[in-house]
Structure 1
Amino acid sequence: MPVWHILLLSAALQLPTTEIETLKGERATGELVELNDSSAVLKQGTQSVSFPLPGLLAVRFPQAPPAEPSLGSRLSLVDGSRLTCSSFSVTGDKARCQTAFGNLTLTVSRLSSVRFGVSTPKLDENWNALLTRESTTDLLVVKKEDVLDFLAGVTGDVGEKINLLLDGEVVPVTRDKAYGIVYHRRLPTLPKSICQIQLTSGDVLETTQLTWEAGKARAKLVAGPEVEVPQGQIAALDFSVSKIKYLSDLKPRDTKYVPFFDVIGILDEYRRDRSLDGTPITLKGRSYPRGIALHSKTMLRFRIAGEYSRFQATAGIDDTVAESGHCVQLLITGDGKPLFDGEIKGREAPRPLDLDVSGVRDLEITVDFGSDNSDIGDHLDLADAKLVK
């Protein structure tokens, strides 16, 4: 065997099977051996380390290979779960689908939509418009060239034909003529999701119960069924849904921006999940997928309604301009009371922020000129900015 093959194999064997991230930003690697309703247990060499579930943000599997693209039906459930099905049928009040991790039987009332046809940018746009359309009936969607149309009625059994109750008469439609079905649903009262299982295929499962044993996740979906998924099909276990809110997902109640020069449109007052230059948010060589970027003379006010206990972020001048020595003054207040007030300098290490926002109704972030009294290169990043319950 060539030496480089041996080196690659050795490197692959040394990759951690599991990476755990906590709400405090701590990371640990090892092998996930157990997960229950109180903790996750990671094996590190000969030792086992327990991580309390309330403080867990995510469990990731970096070795998980991406799945081959599937041409099956794409099923969406009322709880937000998305599944790829190699087969899909409905009989009476039961829907059955074959997934990569096994057969699944669901109550029809838990179906949101099913898409049989191919995906293209234009068809995606049409399909998404139908998903948000106000309707009092099901929509049986058909494709005419590159345009989607629909028949409004009540869908019944789905097999080689789809039964559609239309004006009091059952009309059978052959399956190959249907692009998909959008079900009319009154959103039921469902238990809260505690974890989103993200599969290598791109599918997601919203779960209300989750355990891990012998390299498999056993979960109860918010929509009802119980599933078992092997580690090889899982990219991540995301526990953030019930614990954190990224600031970039919130719309400010109030924004103010006073540019140094009175010229409109030269620079955005702030950006979500990108730097002010439109590149990934990057601080000292590390890129962050989430966060907000602000220019000096910008104020953002968020209504957080006392629902969170901590505001966490990493504050720094974006790498695109950091080495030029730029700086800004950052002030963060909660209901008018200062929580942080300090200068952020490009040539210094980013500042980790962990602020107590318990009971805070309005969180306000103000960026002003730094000690250089200039707006040049005042590109502040609040990387990974999030509110923690």
Structure 2
Amino acid sequence: MIEPEYKSYAHAGATRIRWLRCIRPLSQWRLRIAVAIGMTAGGLSNLPSELNAQVAVQAVVATQQPGQGTPAQGAPANAAAGNAGAKPSPPAFTATTIEDKQYQGKDAEFKDGQLTIKSDPPQTVAMEELQRLVLAHEFKLAIDWIGQKEVDLVQIGAADGGNGVRDVQLHVTGLAAKGLKQVAIVSKPQFRVWRSDVKNSPYWKIAVERVGQASVAELYFEPPTRDLFETEIEVTFTYDDNSNSKATVKATSHTNDKTDPEYPVEKLATKVNRVATIYAQGGDLLNGRVLRGDSENFTIETSWLPQLEVPFGQIRGIFFDGSKPEVKTKFDQQLAKPGEDDFVLVLSKDGGIAEISGRLQGLSDGSLRITYEGQQRSIKLERVQALVLGHEPSVRSWKGPFQVFRMSSGDLFSATLQSLDEKTLKLKASWGVDVDVPRESVVELTGRNTRMVNLSELTPLTVEQVPYFDRKMAFVKDKSWNDRPLKLDGKTYSRGLAVHSRCILTYDLAGEYATFRAIVGFEEEAGDRGRVVCRVIADDKELFAKPDFRSVDKPVVVQVSVKGMKQLRLEVDFGEDEDIGDRVIWANARLFRE
């Protein structure tokens, strides 16, 4: 690969670069040597110290194998990252039924409450039988030049804030649904580099506006002294899994690094619009900007909808991006046990966090209005860190199957699918509003209230957890402890319960279900000393028992009839060897209706 060779020799100066040129054909090295010598002559202090896949300079020096062209602007991320060979496109739709049958096809149709996957032959799945539908998208990374607008978020170097000079704006589409670790912009003619993370580096800062893991983003950077007009700019995005993608854009307007009397500082936007995570009923999560709100509705701008009206009663809490770390702990505690009053965490003038309890009146024009201590007061939104609403939550009463839609931004939105075409999914929210969502924004939908219900979706009627000594390990849903995946005998499961002896979970069945199924076994890290008593009981009738279940035993498939039963109890009790290694997983614990 060229990256290690270039890193090794570029810093050594032009002499070694000439030697390196001799070991490859001149046609492959002429441009790279010219650029490298320019780097040496122009001063390496203006360029990244590491010329690897994580910075934009790779676009200049990336190796081209014989017969391999430079990735074009807007090429797919995997092609732009230099992967050899074209990969086959994944199926656009992959549907999994409640019986774990899987169908794949390039297209799908939704009609009369049934989803048809255009496979060969076509396969139709009723929504009450649908466990999951995955939508694959071939995003193409592209960058549009916006130019200098009325925004001033950054300045020369790494200092925070603007300097009165309008920033250059780039509009990005086609980002992967991952977190960003680094963004790097390079202007080769300028020998200038900008980065989003400038820690321990001399580079200029980039401001990034992106909602969650959305496919779109805005980049802002300080213009250099020399006009960028008709200059080709290269941008590389490094994601949190260390993969990367890159694209180029040509400056189509002039730039100026001076203050402009037509755009005085007071007319410039000097702060990135605050993004918040809205915690809604039923586990929904919405990432976006809270535009306004009152006692009836909140209006939220998400990456997939410019304006989403959410009833006040559907919102549990709002956490603002950039809040202090200790705020999240207080927010989570309050969200778990909200009080009667609304609860607001505010940044005080001395830098501390103040707690305010009262009644929220509304949110608009950059301020939050709340009544507390008998008076209505206004708090600047930039000081608000988080809020938890203390109202009685409205209860969603889905009468039939519904779906949880996972967006590319990471949002979770509960609704029912109404129609599907090549560009749009039409959804109906739980409060009756129709919502049109771009198809490319949806990456997965999961069936809820279908003929099959995962036990992890239900809240236990009672929970009994008794530690053998003093340490109690609470049961966990859909993961193991320390955020590890659920694994049994080398296989990973996405749904299930992880429990530690002694744990008894009781669920209300209300006579709705016919069958309970699960695979029960020990977590792989339990070692060889785990030993428990495992039972499944319904209405005081023992349906399954493993009185001496050991961690060296293979997982066991459980399938029992619960037809007409009112309650289901899962018991994992102490065995003969205290509680060492008593980590048990109920994988794919499911209830089936007839």
TM-score class, shorter-chain normalisation, is 0.7 to 0.9
Verify the 8 A CA contact 1:126 1:148 in the aligned structure 2: no
Distance 1:128 1:183 in 2: 12
**C-alpha spacing 1:250/1:160, structure 2 compared with 1 (3 Å):** closer
**Offset of residue 40 of structure 1:** 1.5
- Per the normalisation by structure 2, the TM-score is 0.52
CA drift at 1:293: 5.3
Report deviation, 1:51: 0.9
Partner of 2:589: 385
- C-alpha distance in 2, partners of 1:267/1:22? 36
Shift in CA distance, 62/121, structure 1 to aligned 2, threshold 3 Å: farther
How far is 1:50 from its partner?
Answer: 0.6
Letter matched to residue 61 of structure 1: L
Instruction: Give distance in 1, aligned partners of 2:83 and 2:556.
Output: 38
Aligned to 2:448: 240
- Corresponding residue pairs, total: 378
* 3-state SS in 1 of match to 2:287: strand
Alignment correspondent of 1:66: 177
- Taking structure 1 as the reference length, what is the TM-score of the superposition? 0.74
CA 1:120–1:300 in 2, change beyond 3 Å: closer, same or farther?
same
Mean Cα deviation higher: 221-230 or 70-79: 70-79
Aligned counterpart, 1:18: 93
Tell me how far apart the structure 2 counterparts of residues 123 and 163 of structure 1 sit (CA, whole Å).
20
Structure 1: unaligned runs, 5 residues or longer: none
What is the one-letter code of the residue matched to 1:309? Answer: A
Contact 1:304 1:362 in 2 (8 A): yes
Contact between 1:139 and 1:182, CA under 8 Å: does it hold in 2? yes
2:329 partner letter: E
The answer on 1:147 being equivalent to 2:221 is: no
Partner of 1:354: 559
Matched, 1:283 2:283: no
Kept in 1, the 8 Å contact 2:301–2:308? The answer is no
When residues 213 and 356 of structure 1 are mapped into structure 2, their CA distance, relative to the original with a 3 A threshold, is: farther
Q: Structure 2 vs 1, CA of residues 80 and 267 (structure 1 numbering), >3 Å: closer, same or farther?
A: closer
Contact 1:109 1:185 in 2 (8 A): no
Which runs of no fewer than 5 residues in structure 2 stay unpaired? 1-63, 69-77, 139-175, 180-209, 212-273
Q: For 1:299 and 1:139, locate their aligned partners in 2 and report how far apart those are by CA, in whole Å.
A: 34
Quote the sequence identity (%): 17
Q: Which amino acid aligns with 2:493?
A: Y
**1:156 corresponding residue in structure 2:** 362
1:75-90 counterparts in 2 under 5 A? Answer: 75-78=278-281, 81-86=284-289, 88-90=291-293
Q: Match for 1:28: what amino acid?
A: Y
- 2:156 aligned residue: none
Alpha carbons of 1:351 and 1:43: their partners in 2 closer, same or farther (altered >3 Å)? farther
Provide the residue aligned with 1:310 in structure 2. Answer: 515
| Contact 1:317–1:378 (8 Å) recurs in 2 | yes
Deviation at 1:158, TM superposition (A): 0.8
The answer as to 2:127 corresponding to 1:53 is yes
Instruction: Determine the structure 2 residue equivalent to 1:223.
Output: 431
Q: Supply the distance in 1 between the matched residues of 2:297 and 2:326 (Cα, whole angstroms).
A: 32
Q: Which has the larger displacement, 25-34 or 214-223?
A: 25-34
Counterpart position of 2:11: none
Q: Is the 2:502–2:574 contact (alpha carbons within 8 Å) kept by the matching residues of 1?
A: no
Structure 1 residue 107: Cα displacement: 6.2
Please name the residue that 2:332 is paired with.
128
Contact 2:515 / 2:592 at 8 angstroms: preserved in 1?
Answer: yes
Quickly say closer, same or farther: Cα 1:289–1:182, change in 2 above 3 A: same
List aligned pairs for 1:84-99, cutoff 5 A: 84-86=287-289, 88-90=291-293, 95-99=298-302
AA aligned opposite 2:113 = S
3-state SS in 1 of match to 2:118: strand
Q: Secondary structure at the match of 1:47?
A: coil
Q: Which residue of structure 2 lines up, in the alignment, with residue 177 of structure 1?
A: 383
Larger RCO, structure (CA 8 Å, separation 6 or more): 1
1:195 aligns with 2:403: yes
- 1:155 maps to a residue whose letter is Q
Mapped to 1, the partners of 2:465 and 2:339 lie a distance apart of 35
Cα offset, 1:383, TM superposition? 1.5
Letter paired with 2:447: F
CA drift of 1:42 comes to 1.3
The answer as to whether partners of 1:127 and 1:148 remain within 8 angstroms in 2 is no
Amino acid paired to 2:419:
T
Compare 91-100 and 19-28 and name the one that shifted more. 91-100
The structure number with the bigger radius of gyration is 2
Structure 1: how far apart are the matches of 2:373 and 2:572? 61
Q: SS in structure 2 opposite 1:124?
A: helix
Aligned partner (choices 30, 34, 40) of residue 115 of structure 2: 40
SS of the aligned residue for 2:306 comes to strand
As a proportion of its length, which structure holds more strand? Answer: 1
CA contact (8 A) 1:140 1:153 kept: no
- 1:29 — aligned with what? 104
